[in-house]
Structure 1
Amino acid sequence: MAVAVLLDAVVIRCLVVPAVMRLLGRRAWWLPRGLDRVLPRLAIEGSQGQQRQRVQQPQR
């Protein structure tokens, strides 16, 4: 069991997956149109329309 876990962790996840992602390029990030409509759109870093509000600290 330990050999299987090590083989999966090292060979598959550290070597094969990055190599396949590199070969596929932009096609690796393709999302089916139907799934794109169902999934929510999340703005991790915020949108361009939003501006950060700065907290003003009292002057000493």
Structure 2
Amino acid sequence: MSSAGRSVAPYVGLGVGAVAAVLVVGVVLTALLATVAVTAVSVSIAALVLRSLLNGARTR
């Protein structure tokens, strides 16, 4: 018990909830960042393939 005679249990519960919320937000943001990175790589590969096909069609 604290010096005021109240239990600290509710504050511990609040701390656990805050940590869980921060972890969830971190996981979601990391997933979004990974999605953006994969999309950027896919678009760049598609652009390279398209450029290669167009250059091949011009030289023939």
Q: Tell me the TM-score normalised to structure 2 length.
A: 0.32
TM-score (structure 1 length as normaliser): 0.32
Name which one, 1 or 2, has greater alpha-carbon Rg: 2
